[in-house]
Amino acid sequence: MRDVAQHAGVSISTVSHVVNNSRAVSSEARSRVLAAMKALGYKPNALAQNLRRQQTFSIGMIVPDSANPFFAEVARGIEDTSFEQNHSVILCNTDGDVDKQAAHTDLLIKNQVAGILFVAAGISTELVEDLQARQVPLVVVDREVPDVAVDTVLTNHRQGGCQATQHLIDLGHRRIACVSGGSDLSPSAERLTGYQMKLQESGIPFDETLVVKGDFQYASGYRAARQLLSLAEPPTAVFACNDLMAVGVISAATEMGLRVPEELSVVGFDDVRLASFTNPPLTTIAQPKYDIGVIATKMLLARARNLAAPPRVEQLETELIIRGSTAPLS
Amino acid sequence: MRDVAQHAGVSISTVSHVVNNSRAVSSEARSRVLAAMKALGYKPNALAQNLRRQQTFSIGMIVPDSANPFFAEVARGIEDTSFEQNHSVILCNTDGDVDKQAAHTDLLIKNQVAGILFVAAGISTELVEDLQARQVPLVVVDREVPDVAVDTVLTNHRQGGCQATQHLIDLGHRRIACVSGGSDLSPSAERLTGYQMKLQESGIPFDETLVVKGDFQYASGYRAARQLLSLAEPPTAVFACNDLMAVGVISAATEMGLRVPEELSVVGFDDVRLASFTNPPLTTIAQPKYDIGVIATKMLLARARNLAAPPRVEQLETELIIRGSTAPLS
DNA sequence: GTGAAAGCGCTAACAC
DNA sequence: GTGTTAGCGCTTTCAC
């Protein structure tokens, strides 16, 4: 900047004023400054700007695994929205490791980020309170933190569980299995609750041999299906709590000589891109992944503008996407 | 920091010295400072540190689409390695838009990043030269920039094309189609070249009706397959230049009543996770996606340490992964 | 072993 | 409409 001022023959503050349009500058001086800037390829040092202004334009995004297609889609929503609002996003993967999460959070704070997005993170009540005490804007995505008021964006997982199950019931199925996720996570538990609710509503007795626990990975869906289909009285339909497990179910069924959907209906959850490409294409419950990212980012930036506003919780709806993996009970 | 100094009853520079271990401090003063830091929850302001030290610990990562499973995997390699080396990564999606890329690059420079990773970016010779003149460390990934010496990490796409084609030839196929990508991109062209080389080597005449151009999306593979399989003399095998298109090929074939691999062999490229889950699982050419990210990051950080070192080009190998979508010609 | 002081590049308040 | 100045929070010489 000093260089530009010298080159243009004006004071350093004049340069600053034309850069920031912060006040009137004679058109002659302005054009000289502009010329000097161009000649020197000047770009203001954002570090200095931010230090002085006591604000930054970057936000931290903490996710378990940005390569997981679900989070990848959420992350795109976040990055696109941040870009629109002139913010950069700092990518942090935790792999579910609390220490890694803490290390990332620490670094983000030191870098004075404008806010932090915790996506499906193992975030504790204490951490939230600590950050709030530090005046760090944050929003938590896809998790509920007990005993503390904090901006949150959630999907209505229970509704999704209901839709999946109701769809199968509507097709005439009564023996409906469920491959659940880790039961300690609220989204997973909610999906299962939706399943149970709809069963009950339709007067179908709950049979616990028909729910088997998975871990959201392909292999666990495969394993669960082999187990379920070996039952004396096997299910005619299965609701898998995510798409990856659903694909595992289809593979196992196919391998055991069952045709999908004619002999076994399968519905997944999430509607990742992969779901359209399986054979048959997967009927599933769509979460508004991209929108989750968009909304969370907007919420964070709003929070950064007003730390005192009352916390908000936004709940998004799921949608049943009917493709080729479900059919009427024959 | 001022607060900490006051609270500990020492000078501000003493605090700095204990924080940075930059020189001997009496153990008594040290423990007083430590206590004060803990009591006040002090975290040094990285903005100020970086401004003063004239260096930062963030790197910019520019990718077309971080939700694309291929780039997502590369990005994980980048983020993991950066984290190991105490660097943060700023995520920038361009969607192939040159203006967006320019905007991101500009912002990264203003933020004084330690370096920039251009992944599969439409990066011009001029841009590289401009950045080099600015002393900005950079490495370009998965693209070749003509007429300029710059750190680069590439996959041997031609080798991959050879492996895919040779595999099909080994299985007895002679009528082998190819669904290519956009021909203007060097990786895509190289894969096609590998295909042609192996055909020629085996004395199979090149038939241009057997190569149809796609765009790396599922739909284009689907379309290409419908076209190819409607030929008077349809192929018995197809090499699709990425996995998504390969899956499209399989869908089209299945829909037209052909069984894969018995009646049509299909091989893809990339080995994205999806490839293991298709029905049948996809035979494909694996790129070391994660390693690409790891190596590129190490290269960038090395460059940041020594701007003057001669540019390096690292070429990584592909690997044929045989799964269920290819079979001997019957 | 400790403190004072200058300055990284910038902005904003304050003169003129 | 323009220039001078103080200072953001930190590091690093320099003096003691």
Interface residue A80 vs chain B (CB under 8 A): yes
Q: Which residue of A38, A51, A52, A106 is the best one to mutate when testing the B interface, meaning the one whose CB has the most B CBs within 10 A?
A: A51
Task: Report whether B17 contacts B44 (CB < 8 A).
Answer: no
Q: Which of residues 81-110 of A touch B (CB under 8 A)?
A: 83, 88-93, 100, 103-104, 106-110
> Smallest CA–CA separation between B199 and chain A, in Å?
30
Whether A75 sits inside 8 A of B91 (CB atoms) is: yes
Closest CA to A212 of A247, A238, A184, A173: A238
CB contacts < 8 Å between A and B, how many? 140
What is the tens place of the pLDDT at every residue in B107-155? 999 999 999 999 999 899 999 999 999 999 999 999 999 999 999 999 9
Which chain A residue is nearest to residue B59, measuring alpha carbons? A90
pLDDT along chain A (330 residues), means of 10: 91 91 87 93 96 97 96 98 98 96 97 97 93 96 94 97 98 97 82 97 96 93 96 97 95 93 97 88 97 98 96 97 95
Distance CA A303, CA A312 (A): 10
A184 vs B80 pLDDT, higher one: B80
Q: Pseudo-torsion of CA B116, B117, B121, B127, nearest 10°? A: 30
Distance CA B61, CA B81 (A): 13
pLDDT at A289: 97
Which chain A residue is nearest to residue B54, measuring alpha carbons? A47
> Smallest CA–CA separation between A72 and chain B, in Å?
5
The answer to whether strand D lies under 7 Å from the CB of residue B98 is no
Helix, coil or strand: residue A322: coil
The answer to whether strand C lies under 7 Å from the CB of residue A19 is yes
Task: Report whether B267 contacts B246 (CB < 8 A).
Answer: yes
The answer to whether strand D lies under 7 Å from the CB of residue A51 is yes
Give the closest of A58, A80, A91 to B79, CB-based.
A91
Give the closest of B46, B276, B279 to A111, CB-based.
B46
The answer to whether strand C lies under 7 Å from the CB of residue B47 is no
> Smallest CA–CA separation between B87 and chain A, in Å?
9
pLDDT at B233: 95
Which chain A residue is nearest to residue B50, measuring alpha carbons? A47
The answer to whether strand D lies under 7 Å from the CB of residue B20 is yes
Q: What is the mean pLDDT of residues B68-91?
A: 97
The helix (run of H) or strand (run of E) holding residue B237 is strand B237-240
Q: Which of residues 241-280 of A touch B (CB under 8 A)?
A: 244, 247-248, 250-251, 254, 274, 276-279
User: Which token pair is B53?
Assistant: 């030290």
Whether B61 sits inside 8 A of A111 (CB atoms) is: no
Q: Between the CA of A54 and the C1' of C9, what is the distance in angstroms?
A: 14
pLDDT at A273: 87
Distance CA B95, CA B106 (A): 17
User: Which token pair is A74?
Assistant: 């959420």
The helix (run of H) or strand (run of E) holding residue B211 is strand B211-213
Task: Report whether B40 contacts B7 (CB < 8 A).
Answer: yes
The alpha-helical segments, DSSP class H, found in A21-175 are 27-40, 46-53, 69-84, 98-110, 125-133, 157-170
> Smallest CA–CA separation between B202 and chain A, in Å?
34
Give the closest of A108, A112, A250 to B47, CB-based.
A112
Whether B56 sits inside 8 A of A47 (CB atoms) is: yes
Interface residue B11 vs chain A (CB under 8 A): no
pLDDT at B185: 76
> What residues of chain A lie within 8 A of the CB of B88, using their CB?
90-92, 107-108, 111
Q: Which residue of B71, B83, B249 is the best one to mutate when testing the A interface, meaning the one whose CB has the most A CBs within 10 A?
A: B83
Whether B111 sits inside 8 A of A91 (CB atoms) is: no
Nucleotide nearest to B51 (CA to C1'): C8
Distance CA B330, CA A303 (A): 65
> What residues of chain A lie within 8 A of the CB of B59, using their CB?
none
The answer to whether strand D lies under 7 Å from the CB of residue B48 is yes
Give the closest of A66, A130, A134 to B76, CB-based.
A66
Q: What is the mean pLDDT of residues B47-68?
A: 97
Which chain A residue is nearest to residue B65, measuring alpha carbons? A76
Q: Return the nearest residue to D1, CA–C1'.
A: A25
What residues are paired with B177 via a beta bridge?
B238
Q: Pseudo-torsion of CA A247, B71, B292, A248, nearest 10°? A: 0
Q: What is the CA radius of gyration of chain A?
A: 26
Q: What is the mean pLDDT of residues B226-250?
A: 96
Q: How far is CA A35 from CA A1, A135, B98, B254, in A?
A: 13, 41, 25, 64
> What residues of chain A lie within 8 A of the CB of B108, using their CB?
88
Distance CA A275, CA A270 (A): 9
The answer to whether strand C lies under 7 Å from the CB of residue A26 is no
Q: Between the CA of B67 and the C1' of D10, what is the distance in angstroms?
A: 38
**How far, in whole angstroms, is CA A2 from its chain's centroid?**
44
Q: Pseudo-torsion of CA B238, A255, A219, B255, nearest 10°? A: 40
> What residues of chain B lie within 8 A of the CB of A45, using their CB?
51, 110, 112
Domain annotation for chain A: domains and CATH numbers: 2-44 (no CATH), 55-155+289-315 (3.40.50.2300), 157-287 (3.40.50.2300)
Helix, coil or strand: residue B316: strand
A136 vs B187 pLDDT, higher one: A136
Distance CA B153, CA B132 (A): 17
pLDDT at A183: 67
Average predicted confidence (pLDDT) for chain B: 95
Closest CA to A320 of A98, A126, A159, A109: A159
Whether A83 sits inside 8 A of B91 (CB atoms) is: no
pLDDT at A257: 93
Distance CA A17, CA A218 (A): 58
Q: Which residue has the tokens 């931010």?
A: A50
Helix, coil or strand: residue B263: coil
pTM (2 decimals)? 0.95
> Smallest CA–CA separation between B203 and chain A, in Å?
36
Which range, of A155-159, B46-50, B234-238, B278-282, averages the lowest pLDDT? Answer: B278-282
